[in-house]
C-alpha cells in the first residue's frame, strides 16, 4: 500500500529539482525572467508542511564583535552547500534556509562557525493545496 504523504513528498521533490534546472524566459529587452519562482515556493513550503524539510532563520549574533562581511559569508555558503539553492541571505547577513531535515545539523554547524544565531520560525500551515497536481 502506498502512503499518500510519501508519494506527495517524492513528487514535490522531483518537481522542485526540475523547476531548478529549467531555463529562464528571456524578455524582448534581453532580461532573464524566472517564471517558476511561485511554483518553487509552493512545493518548498508544502515539503515543510509534510515534515520532510525544515525552515530556519539564522541572524548575526549580536554579541559578535566583528560581523563577517556579506560577500565573504555568501561565498562560504556557496562553497559549503553547492547543491542547495533554497536559501536567502539578506544584506544584513540574515540567512533563511529550507532543506531536508537530514541536513539541518550541517546548517546549524555552519551558522555556529560564522557567528549566526538560530531563530526558529513558527511554521503555520501554508495556503498550499494538500494534494499534488495532476
The rounded distance, in Å, linking the Cα atoms of 26 and 38 is: 18
**Across residues 44-61, what is the average pLDDT?**
93
Q: Would you kindly state where each structural domain of the chain is located, as residue ranges? A: 1-23+33-51, 52-123
* Cell output for 99: 532543506
For residue range 67-81, list pLDDT tens digits in order: 789 999 999 999 999
Q: What is the CATH number of domain 52-123?
A: 3.30.70
Instruction: Calculate the alpha carbon distances from 14 to 20, 21, 91, 104 in Å.
Output: 10, 11, 31, 20
Average pLDDT score, the chain: 83
The rounded distance, in Å, linking the Cα atoms of 127 and 134 is: 18
**Across residues 64-93, what is the average pLDDT?**
90
Amino acid at each position: 500500500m502506498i502512503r499518500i504523504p510519501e508519494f506527495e513528498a517524492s513528487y514535490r521533490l522531483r518537481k522542485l529539482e526540475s523547476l531548478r534546472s529549467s531555463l529562464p524566459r528571456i524578455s524582448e529587452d534581453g532580461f532573464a525572467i524566472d517564471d517558476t519562482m511561485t511554483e518553487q515556493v509552493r512545493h518548498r513550503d508544502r515539503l515543510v508542511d509534510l515534515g520532510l524539510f525544515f525552515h530556519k532563520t539564522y541572524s548575526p549574533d549580536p554579541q559578535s564583535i566583528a560581523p563577517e562581511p556579506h560577500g565573504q559569508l555568501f561565498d562560504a555558503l556557496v562553497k559549503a552547500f553547492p547543491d542547495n539553492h533554497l536559501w536567502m541571505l539578506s544584506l544584513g547577513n540574515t540567512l533563511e534556509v529550507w532543506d531536508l531535515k537530514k541536513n539541518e545539523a550541517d546548517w546549524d554547524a555552519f551558522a555556529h562557525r560564522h557567528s549566526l544565531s538560530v531563530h526558529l520560525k513558527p511554521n503555520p500551515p501554508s495556503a498550499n493545496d494538500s494534494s499534488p497536481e495532476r
